[in-house]
Amino acid sequence: MRRWVVLSTATALVGCNSTPLGYLEGSGSRSGDLLQSLAWGFLAIAVAVILIIAALIVAATQRARRRAARSAPDDVGREGGGVSAIYWGVGLSIPVLIAMAIWNFVSVQAVATPPHEPGLAVSVTGHRWWWEVDYQSAQPFGTLRTANELVIPTGVPVRLDLESADVIHDFWVPKLGPKMDMIPGRTNHSWIEADRPGTYRGQCAEFCGAEHGRMSFVVHAVPRAEFEAWLDHQRQPASTGGPAQEIFEAKCGACHEVRGTSAAGIFGPDLTHVGSRTTLAAAMMRNTPRNLALWLGDTQGIKPGAEMPQTKLDPVERAQLVGWLEALK
């Protein structure tokens, strides 16, 4: 329970953040810092170049209008002359370009490889339109299958094995580092390391069909001890049984898994601890009983095209199911 409180607090903090996907502020990692300063630096150079060129165009036009006023209407300039401006302009541009390229390659070097061996490997698989998360390493942390929210320990480089179950997706947490495609038939490797605890928003960045825009996720970075406790807790079943569990097993179990029950579907997200997550439907909305009831009541209206069909539930069943799912802490 305490852990969940921590995660909710972190989400509340992100709620204050005005641009959860922006990479110009609020970086949470060394890679993020590097890319943030690269973005600001290049932006400053770009704005300077644009202003200089704009000033040149205006100044040239003013000068040439004055000259036109002084000369005969049919006068035209000779062909030679002015070429030195090209040499000057290009000559001054090239060192700037070279400096930018060097800055780029230094950043590539630092961002592409982790500073030391990753201490944790997580496999993330993109599905239309949600994220399957598998904590792979049995040692030192233990394995776990979950969905749509990634919890990582701070200060530990995390290796990401990125795969896709269907079409190309892209794993992107702007405040933590580069994006990386998830391509069916191959495993792409990336890594993230959060230096500062917090909740960071992620988003699919490769067009993947109808609900591409609503395919988001969150990364919770927590201190290592808290992470280990979270992992331990998540590996335990959470269901308390009851009539709602039977409804779930009958109506949802073909696609969803809740460990400790007979619901063991693999087509949809694992829901063993869905009540402990901060968001619903691939981080489309906050996880509240009201939102969950809305989602179950009008799945296709809220997320048109989603693979989850509209499940027939009478209001009583739905309320029971919402209460049971929210209790899966």
Partner 1 sequence: MSTTFDRAAGLARGSPQEPVDASPPASLVPPAAGDKLKDIWEDSPGLRGWFGTVDHKRIGIRYLITAFVFLAIGGIEALAMRVQLAQADNHLLSPEQYNQLFSMHGVTMIFLYAMPILSGFSNYLWPLMLGSRDMAFPRLNALSFWLYVAAGLFLYVSFPLGAAPNDGWFNYVPNGSAEFDPGPNIDVYCLGMIFLGISTVVGAANFVVTLLRMRAPGMSLNRLPIIVWGTLTASVANLLAIPAVSLACLMLWFDRNLGTHFFEISGGGQPLLWQHLFWSFGHPWVYAVVLPAMGIVSDALPVHCRRPLVGYTLVAMATVTTMVVGFGVWLHHMFATGLPALALSFFSAASFAIAIPSAISVFSWIATIWTGRVRITVPFLFFASVILLFVIGGVSGVMTASLALDWELTDTYFIVAHLHYVLIGINLFAVVGAIYHWFPKMTGRMMSERVGRWVFGLMFGGFNLAFLPMHWLGLLGMPRRVYTYGPDMGFGVTNLIVTIGAFLFAVGIGLFFVSMLVARLAGRPAGPNPWDGPSLEWSVSSPPPPYNFAVIPLIASRHPLWESRLLEKGEPHSRLAEGYLLDEGKETLGVTPLDGEPDVILKMPGDSLLPLALSVALLPLFGGLLLELAWLGGIGALAVLVILILWFRPHEATRSEEKARVYG
Of 152-181, binders to partner 1 (CB under 8 A) are 162, 166-168, 170, 172, 174, 177-181
Answer for which of 133, 152, 204, 263 binds partner 1 (CB under 8 A) is 204
Query: Who's near 161: CB < 8 A, 6+ residues apart?
Result: 121, 122, 123, 124, 136, 187, 188, 189
CB count, 10 Å around CB of 43?
Answer: 11
Pick 185 or 315: Cβ nearer partner 1: 185
Segment interacting with partner 1 (CB under 8 A) among 75-83, 224-232, 234-242, 269-277:
75-83
Segment interacting with partner 1 (CB under 8 A) among 64-72, 151-159, 218-226, 245-253:
64-72
Answer for which of 2, 81, 225, 312 binds partner 1 (CB under 8 A) is 81
At 260, is the secondary structure helix, strand, or coil?
Answer: coil
Answer for which of 9, 42, 232, 298 binds partner 1 (CB under 8 A) is 42
Question: Which run of H or E residues covers position 180?
Answer: strand 180-182
Pick 237 or 301: Cβ nearer partner 1: 301
What is the smallest separation between the CB atom of 165 and partner 1, expressed in angstroms?
11
- Using alpha carbons, select from 6, 11, 69, 43 the residue that is nearest to residue 285: 11
Task: Verify binding: residue 305, partner 1, rule CB under 8 A.
Answer: yes
Task: Verify binding: residue 44, partner 1, rule CB under 8 A.
Answer: no
Tokens of 202: 């992620």
Task: Verify binding: residue 300, partner 1, rule CB under 8 A.
Answer: no
Identify whether the C-beta of residue 161 lies closer than 8 Å to the C-beta of residue 137.
no
Identify whether the C-beta of residue 161 lies closer than 8 Å to the C-beta of residue 122.
yes
Task: Quickly tell me which residue has 């903090």 as its tokens.
Answer: 13
Task: Verify binding: residue 35, partner 1, rule CB under 8 A.
Answer: yes
